Structure 1
Amino acid sequence: MSNTSAAPPQVAARSAERRLTIALLVIVTCQLMIMLDMTIVNTALPTIQRELGFSSANLTWVLNAYAVAFGGLLLFGGRLGDMYGRRRVFIIGVAVFTVASLVGGLAQNPAWLLTSRVIQGVGAAVAAPSALSLIATTFTAPAARARALSYYTAASSAGGSLGLLVGGMLTSWVNWRWVMLVNVPIGLVIIALATRFIPQPPHVQGKLDVFGAVTGTAGLIGIVYGFTHAADGSWGDAQTIGAFVVGGVLLIAFLLGERRVAQPILPLALFANRNRAAAYAGMLMLPGAMFASLYFLMVYAQNSLGYTPVEAGFAVVPLTLGVFSSRWTFPPLVKKLGPKNLVIAAAALIIIGLLWLSQMTPSTGYAFIVVPTIFCGVGVGIAFTSLNFTVLAGLPPQNAGAAAGMLQTMMQVGGALGLAVLGTIYISGLEDALKTGITSQAAVATAAGEALGGGAVFIAVLLLIGLFGLVKMAPAPAPAPAPAPAPAPGTQPPGQATSV
């Protein structure tokens, strides 16, 4: 009799767990798809240029159009989820992204493809903050949240390297158009499953901060564009300087305006928590090193070791595997050590890996980079998850979208900053190396090594943030047990049936 009476609660618990697992899979798949598109077209660029008639000057905008729209709209996209429903906004963002991918895959000229890439960036900026905030509101228990974030961060961190591999395979083995079209079936499945399995959390009632939306979005677009333009080595160019000035002025106006509105795009109270503010700063430094480092590893593999795009994609698989290892290592480690100690340890591991990689030459070959790329991957996975965990800890549910939007904004701005700064180091190092008369392969290896060494400086700042910015978090209190139901008249209370 007791087994029969216990069956319905057990079945309900298993059903709830299954629904949460599918919801997490949907969220993680969306994030992976969005991050893949940061790099999936890289290896297809030569083919795209030849078939659609891009000029060399405009070709980089196949990448930049997505990055600028994505990075500029993240704050706005995050607040939309808070105010109009995170699941609803998540689905709309994925739908926009999916349609834009279909349109881009059918492009017949440069303007067509660039327009679709901008719309892809808009869809990604709307969907991505809601994806992270849905984790915050759906997985509220610390252990469940740590597990969910470990999956989410693995997808976020590994998406760039997987994009290079998948893009190379699709371009070489099928057709470049599939680097866009591959998103269509994935997006449709995400929409179908999200409607059924992702719960709709309560949303904030209020009026959208239009002034903040306009100034914040335009200011971020200016800053991201400035860094993107500077990555070509043109820091002193009038366009670069103008973008920074206009973007900076608009962001100052944005911050001043946010202090005066009831429902700001970015609630400044988010920064009152010391750990959260430090984690945001850390999220600027970590992508600043790692996105650029991934790029220079690919440059080294193709231009110094002579690998094909597909071979170069496989060359960074150890980095990807290292990142994915955080899925298993983070949940038990954060419980024992806390996010502060994990950030410190992860930063030290990444610094060792980057300094090791900075010594590579054409003669060292592929074997030389395997171990340090694993070090970097493990460190990146743990550091990303720890920073995400810190930002979401103690977060008011009504600000989950805004907090997630800010986190991902720092990630995109940091990536643009790193590529601009380390790209300048690479170009300068390449020019100096070629003047010495060494081979082009040796010059590429030397310059890429200098850029990777520069990435270690970014991570050294992250290490300082971990040491002096973060403080140890108090352990979350155990949830109070649910009160036992009152026994029916004439029956024995459940707790007295057996001794436990």
Structure 2
Amino acid sequence: MPEKHQTTAPVHKTAILAIILISYVMIVLDISVVLTGLPKIHHELGFTDAGLAWVQSAYTLTFGGFLLLGARAGDIFGRRRMFIAGMAIFTFASVAIGASQSSTWMLSWRAIQGLGSAILAPSALALLQTNFDEGEERVRAVSLYSAAAGVSATFGLIVGGLLADWLSWRIGFLINLPIGIAMALVARVYIPETDKQPGTFDIPGAVTSTLGMSALVYGFIRSAQAGWDELTIATLVVAVILLAAFVQIERRAKQPILPLRLFSDIERSGAYAARVLYLGAMAGFFFFTTLYLQEVAGFRPAVTGLAFVPATMLHVPIAILVPRLIRRFGRNTVLIVGMVTGVVAMGWLSRAGVGSDYWTAVALPMLLIGISQGLTLSPLTSSGVVRVTRSDAGAASGAVNVAHQMGSSVGLGVLIAVAAVGTAGLSGTDLTAYRVSHALDAGTVMLLLTLMIALVTIVPAALRLERNHEEPVPVKGAA
């Protein structure tokens, strides 16, 4: 049943955009805020060296695993209602994490926090789609959404390092309480509720997709810790079987959580694949550069966070300029320039080693990475939701977010596995420098594959529209 047309006043649109951006900043911030504080968390809560990796993985596993279910819940129950529910779960879990007294308690609540994000993130992006017209208005909104992701990722590293050094890593989680309460209250006032779509949950699809993605991530992470033993291989085989079963279930389901018709458009399919690889490389950039700065260059947590400033300096202004750049040069040009810049930057950064100068070996390629993120993420997001009906807005936003989290979690797991290859005989800073260099080499390959996918799928689709003088199909019932 199509949703009723809604007219949103300009002042309300500004408020809606602010609410969506702040909520997204909270999600991304909590992914990165713990990185520079990991040594303190390791000491205070008694984590083992291997167990420390699960501070991030417990969050990303449930985040990525429940995203499709969260997107479907927004379609059925109303996206504003699920936005508020997701914000409530996320905020309560943040407070519980900040009060952690043991590793088990923290990991449990990190997983619950990931569930809150899985409900919140697709609801936020779907609300952006349904409240902003397709065209220049939505391009501008998506550009700000993408800019928020980049700046909050780096800002989280800076804040995490400063808090770990000066106060406590716990503050980064506890501060979510007043912000979360405020966002839930203003959402009820300014965000119009979307019409509920009658239907039921695709439980088999939700179970197989969640377990399949979780097994895939776990398998790659375990391979870096325990090697390619029988359990690791068995886990990955099970993951493939579950994901194959998920595809078959979605083909037959009357109301699938991930309609396979989303992949009938080659541009959308290419955007999802490119996003997985791009985010995998960028997750590796943040993780391994943090490792390099602390364990090879000898930076303290606070200095490590500040050392990421070059990655933010040009990211935000570039992302804000993207709509203007697209109007002048075309979306294809902006996307390809962004991807090529990322390849050059990651390859350059991979050359950093023991004794390298920070400014030439790290800071300058960081500037290029910021430019790449600013130019690339917005066009990829737009391509991931292009030409979808209003009824599929939640599913399309879920697919974008799944690609994002799958890239961040699985991609990082792959890079960690690559970094562990050929390390026999190395120790200390030489070992860390070797692992960082090889991981970033693999990240460069990921970005090259991203570029190839874009050239084969996204670029031809846009050229075909221009050649035929076609206009993108608007979202039905958009404001």
Report the TM-score when normalising by structure 1. Answer: 0.87
Match of 2:436 in 1: 448
Query: Is contact 2:164-2:301 (8 Å) kept?
Result: no
Report 1:182-221 matches (<5 A): 182-221=175-214
Query: Is contact 2:221-2:417 (8 Å) kept?
Result: no
Match of 2:456 in 1: 468
**Deviation at 1:270?**
0.2
> Please, which of 137, 146, 150 is the counterpart of residue 130 of structure 2?
137
**Deviation at 1:32?**
1.2
In structure 2, what is the Cα distance between the partners aligned to 1:286 and 1:421?
Answer: 13
Q: Deviations over 1:266-311 (max 9, x none)?
A: 0000000010011011011101111101211111111221111111
Tell me the percent identity.
36
Query: Is contact 2:205-2:249 (8 Å) kept?
Result: yes
Report 1:88-107 matches (<5 A): 88-107=81-100
After superposition, the Cα gap between the structure-2 partners of 1:152 and 1:235, relative to the gap in structure 1 and judged at 3 Å, is: farther
Match of 2:318 in 1: 326
- Residue 346 of structure 1 aligns to a residue whose secondary structure is helix
Match of 2:165 in 1: 172
**Deviation at 1:429?**
5.6
> Please, which of 111, 120, 128 is the counterpart of residue 121 of structure 2?
128
- Residue 64 of structure 1 aligns to a residue whose secondary structure is helix
Report 1:345-356 matches (<5 A): 345-356=337-348
**Deviation at 1:19?**
1.5
Match of 1:335 in 2: 327
Match of 1:43 in 2: 36
Q: Does 1:271 align with 2:259?
A: no
In structure 2, what is the Cα distance between the partners aligned to 1:240 and 1:354?
Answer: 29
Show structure 1 runs of 5+ residues with no match.
Answer: 1-12, 435-439, 481-500
Question: 147-156 or 265-274, which moves further after superposition?
Answer: 147-156
- Residue 25 of structure 1 aligns to a residue whose secondary structure is helix
Query: Is contact 1:304-1:362 (8 Å) kept?
Result: yes
**Deviation at 1:255?**
1.0
> Please, which of 21, 45, 55 is the counterpart of residue 52 of structure 1?
45
Question: 359-368 or 379-388, which moves further after superposition?
Answer: 359-368
In structure 2, what is the Cα distance between the partners aligned to 1:397 and 1:138?
Answer: 11
Report 1:3-82 matches (<5 A): 16-82=9-75
Larger Rg: 1 or 2? Answer: 1
Q: Does 1:247 align with 2:239?
A: yes
Q: Does 1:420 align with 2:408?
A: no
1:461 counterpart letter in structure 2? L
After superposition, the Cα gap between the structure-2 partners of 1:38 and 1:85, relative to the gap in structure 1 and judged at 3 Å, is: same
- Residue 421 of structure 1 aligns to a residue whose secondary structure is helix
In structure 2, what is the Cα distance between the partners aligned to 1:161 and 1:290?
Answer: 11
The alignment of Structure 1 onto Structure 2 pairs a total of residues equal to 461
Query: Is contact 2:65-2:210 (8 Å) kept?
Result: yes
- Residue 38 of structure 1 aligns to a residue whose secondary structure is helix
In structure 1, what is the Cα distance between the partners aligned to 2:210 and 2:248?
Answer: 15
After superposition, the Cα gap between the structure-2 partners of 1:479 and 1:226, relative to the gap in structure 1 and judged at 3 Å, is: closer
Question: 279-288 or 368-377, which moves further after superposition?
Answer: 368-377
In structure 2, what is the Cα distance between the partners aligned to 1:206 and 1:104?
Answer: 35
Match of 2:142 in 1: 149
After superposition, the Cα gap between the structure-2 partners of 1:48 and 1:303, relative to the gap in structure 1 and judged at 3 Å, is: closer
Q: Deviations over 1:345-383 (max 9, x none)?
A: 111111111121122233331111222111111112221
Question: 420-429 or 451-460, which moves further after superposition?
Answer: 420-429
Show structure 2 runs of 5+ residues with no match.
Answer: 1-6, 475-479
**Deviation at 1:442?**
4.8
**Deviation at 1:30?**
0.8
In structure 2, what is the Cα distance between the partners aligned to 1:150 and 1:432?
Answer: 47
Query: Is contact 1:153-1:385 (8 Å) kept?
Result: yes
Match of 2:400 in 1: 407
Q: Does 1:293 align with 2:289?
A: no
Query: Is contact 1:106-1:177 (8 Å) kept?
Result: yes
Query: Is contact 1:362-1:441 (8 Å) kept?
Result: yes
Report 1:220-259 matches (<5 A): 220-232=213-225, 234-259=226-251
Match of 1:490 in 2: none
Report the TM-score when normalising by structure 2. Answer: 0.91
**Deviation at 1:62?**
2.0
Match of 1:305 in 2: 297
Q: Deviations over 1:49-86 (max 9, x none)?
A: 33333333323222221111111111111111112111
After superposition, the Cα gap between the structure-2 partners of 1:460 and 1:388, relative to the gap in structure 1 and judged at 3 Å, is: same
Q: Does 1:281 align with 2:273?
A: yes
Q: Deviations over 1:79-108 (max 9, x none)?
A: 111121111111100100001111221222
In structure 1, what is the Cα distance between the partners aligned to 2:315 and 2:230?
Answer: 39
1:86 counterpart letter in structure 2? R
In structure 1, what is the Cα distance between the partners aligned to 2:160 and 2:320?
Answer: 27
Q: Does 1:370 align with 2:363?
A: yes
In structure 2, what is the Cα distance between the partners aligned to 1:256 and 1:333?
Answer: 41
**Deviation at 1:472?**
4.2
After superposition, the Cα gap between the structure-2 partners of 1:190 and 1:429, relative to the gap in structure 1 and judged at 3 Å, is: farther
**Deviation at 1:431?**
4.2
In structure 2, what is the Cα distance between the partners aligned to 1:343 and 1:433?
Answer: 40
- Residue 346 of structure 2 aligns to a residue whose secondary structure is helix
After superposition, the Cα gap between the structure-2 partners of 1:77 and 1:228, relative to the gap in structure 1 and judged at 3 Å, is: farther
Query: Is contact 1:165-1:310 (8 Å) kept?
Result: yes
Query: Is contact 2:35-2:287 (8 Å) kept?
Result: no
After superposition, the Cα gap between the structure-2 partners of 1:57 and 1:463, relative to the gap in structure 1 and judged at 3 Å, is: closer
Q: Deviations over 1:426-476 (max 9, x none)?
A: 233654655xxxxx4455334423322221110111111121122243367
Query: Is contact 2:36-2:305 (8 Å) kept?
Result: no
RMSD: 2.2
Query: Is contact 1:43-1:309 (8 Å) kept?
Result: yes
2:440 counterpart letter in structure 1? L
**Deviation at 1:324?**
1.3
1:160 counterpart letter in structure 2? A
After superposition, the Cα gap between the structure-2 partners of 1:206 and 1:366, relative to the gap in structure 1 and judged at 3 Å, is: same
In structure 1, what is the Cα distance between the partners aligned to 2:100 and 2:158?
Answer: 23
Query: Is contact 2:83-2:124 (8 Å) kept?
Result: yes
- Residue 205 of structure 1 aligns to a residue whose secondary structure is coil
- Residue 241 of structure 1 aligns to a residue whose secondary structure is helix
Q: Deviations over 1:389-431 (max 9, x none)?
A: 1112211111111111111111212122322222233233654
